[in-house]
């Protein structure tokens, strides 16, 4: 498996990075193509392993998918197999996003249960509860969820659903199910992430009436069966990728980096924390300019659903706190096991004490390069960022995870002065 080798130095990062399209917006939108026939065209799609996995899943189900990042075309094939096998779901939990569209469009779905993953148990009870409210019969059989529309595969009916907690893919799955249900559904306590709002835009383009996506209450008037149209759409920028480069830039005093295509309004909680830490962030047209002129101050963060501080930026911000002046308290409230970067950062000289879901970070003067690895995408990104300032060499192993979510990370960091290289087939 490949590794990423980073030679840390004291050189500030300077230059421009183009932000790619949002992985977590592209995945549900690819699944939404199941709701219609004809050719849908997605633009600004990142070249990532998760996109390839979703394409493989759609092909398994009988769709014809051409991936030529940044463009993906999806065409309906003649036969549909409404099934997501374990082999694909185990590679990517977001595969569960086919459940809603499949049962809405074809009256049935067989989708492997995703199981737990490196960051927590991650149940899908809220997805299933909402589908049941829409008239689905759900059964679990040998690791698979088997869902059937009313009266043995009929059309779903609209429902009022109140999620027990805001779930991103849960909200998205049920929006897609409601898109072809009979009547007007009301979804309460919805996730408000920009990616959910983006899916609302797509469903509107396809021809159903979605109102409120991006707020906690979403109304959806289902379209008549067979009436949803294919679409052509450019995906929004990836706010987590942008945030990751923002933190990378902030690691060195004197850095001056422009993030082309970053959307400030989607990143307010992060930007506000970074500014409190002493990083200068300004909007310049369609770009954000990140400059660091003085030392980093310690700030406390608690992750929360959007618009709160994103759990997907917790690991990266922790790395910044590792070199801050003072003590920072970081609390993770979304996932129960999302501190896998901590022992690796400790090996690089960070001073971090873990107490349950809280990490107390004491800033240190220096980090040291080491051979490290992580089993989660964002944790892996945090280790690459740490390597940028560490003395000596850092080897981040198992880059498989990074490749799921960061397009050309070594080239993008290299383009702004980071000394980052990929080592093919390194020992894992």
Residues catalogued as catalytic: 117
Phi and psi torsions of 233, nearest 5°? -155, 140
What are the start-end ranges of the H helices in 312-397?
A: 314-322, 341-347, 377-389
144 binds ligand EPU (CB under 6 A): no
284 binds ligand EPU (CB under 6 A): no
E strand or H helix that includes residue 283:
strand 279-284
The 304-323 contact track toward ligand EPU, x by CB under 6 A, reads: -------xx-----------
335 binds ligand EPU (CB under 6 A): yes
State the Cα–Cα distance between residues 311 and 378, nearest whole angstrom. Answer: 9
54 binds ligand EPU (CB under 6 A): no
**Beta carbons of 388 and 418 less than 8 angstroms apart:** yes
Contacts of 343 (CB under 8 A, 6+ apart): none
Cβ of residue 124: shortest distance to ligand EPU, in angstroms? 5
Which residue of 174, 202, 377, 402 would you call a contact of ligand EPU, by CB under 6 A? 377
Stretch that binds ligand EPU, among 134-142, 151-159, 163-171, 286-294 (CB under 6 A): 163-171
Residues 77-106 that bind ligand EPU (CB under 6 A): 94
Instruction: List the strands of the sheet with 137-141, edge to edge.
Output: 83-84, 108-112, 144-148, 137-141
**CB closer to ligand EPU out of 22 and 296:** 22
Would you mind telling me the total number of residues written for the chain in this entry?
428
Per-residue tokens: 27: 């995945």
Cβ of residue 98: shortest distance to ligand EPU, in angstroms? 12
Helix (H, G, I), strand (E, B) or coil at 47: coil
Stretch that binds ligand EPU, among 52-60, 67-75, 162-170, 267-275 (CB under 6 A): 162-170
Which residue of 100, 149, 170, 261 would you call a contact of ligand EPU, by CB under 6 A? 170
- 399 burial level (CB within 10 Å; 0-12, 13-18, 19+): buried
Cα dihedral sign for 383, 384, 386, 387? Answer: positive
Per-residue tokens: 103: 């049962």
Q: With contacts defined by CB under 6 A, how many residues of the chain interact with ligand EPU?
A: 24
Cβ of residue 199: shortest distance to ligand EPU, in angstroms? 10
Stretch that binds ligand EPU, among 41-49, 123-131, 174-182, 217-225 (CB under 6 A): 123-131
Contact set with ligand EPU (CB under 6 A)? 24, 27, 94, 120, 122-127, 165, 167-170, 191, 195, 311-312, 334-335, 377-378, 405
């Amino acid at each position: 498996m490949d590794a990423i080798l980073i030679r840390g130095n004291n050189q500030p990062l300077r230059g421009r990075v183009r932000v790619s399209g949002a992985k977590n917006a592209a995945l549900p939108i690819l699944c939404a193509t199941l709701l219609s026939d004809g050719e849908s065209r997605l633009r600004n799609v990142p070249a990532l392993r998760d996109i390839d996995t979703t394409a493989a899943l759609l092909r398994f189900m009988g769709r014809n998918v051409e991936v030529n990042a940044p463009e993906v075309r999806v065409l309906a094939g003649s036969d549909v197999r409404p099934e997501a096998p374990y082999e694909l779901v185990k590679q990517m939990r977001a595969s569960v996003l086919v459940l809603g569209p499949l049962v809405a469009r074809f009256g049935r779905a067989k989708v492997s249960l995703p199981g737990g993953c490196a960051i927590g148990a991650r149940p899908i009870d809220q997805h299933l509860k909402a589908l049941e409210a829409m008239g689905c019969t759900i059964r679990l059989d040998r690791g698979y969820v088997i869902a059937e529309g009313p009266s043995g595969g009929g059309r779903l009916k609209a429902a009022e659903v109140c999620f027990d907690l805001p779930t991103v893919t849960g909200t998205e799955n049920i929006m897609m199910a409601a898109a072809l249900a009979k009547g007007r559904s009301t979804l309460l306590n919805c996730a408000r992430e920009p990616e959910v709002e983006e899916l609302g835009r797509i469903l509107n383009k396809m021809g159903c009436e979605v109102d409120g996506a991006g707020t906690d209450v979403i109304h959806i008037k289902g379209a008549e069966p067979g009436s949803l149209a294919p679409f052509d759409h450019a995906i929004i920028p990836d706010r987590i990728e942008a945030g990751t480069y923002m933190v990378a830039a902030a690691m060195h005093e004197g850095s001056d980096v422009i993030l082309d295509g970053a959307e400030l309004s989607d990143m307010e909680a992060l930007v506000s924390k970074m500014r409190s830490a002493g990083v200068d962030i300004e909007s310049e047209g369609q770009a954000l300019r990140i400059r660091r002129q003085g030392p980093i101050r310690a700030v406390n963060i608690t992750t929360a659903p959007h618009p709160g501080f994103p759990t997907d930026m917790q690991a990266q911000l922790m790395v910044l706190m590792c070199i801050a002046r003072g003590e920072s308290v970081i609390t993770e409230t979304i996932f129960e096991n999302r501190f896998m970067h901590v022992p690796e950062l400790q090996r690089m000289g960070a001073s971090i004490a873990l107490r349950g879901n809280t990490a107390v970070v004491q800033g240190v003067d220096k980090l040291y390069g080491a051979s490290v690895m992580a089993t989660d995408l964002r944790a892996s990104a945090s280790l690459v960022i740490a390597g940028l300032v560490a003395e000596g060499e850092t080897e981040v192993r198992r880059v498989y995870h990074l490749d799921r979510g960061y397009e050309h990370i070594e080239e993008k960091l290299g383009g702004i002065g980071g000394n980052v290289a990929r080592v093919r087939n390194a020992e894992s």
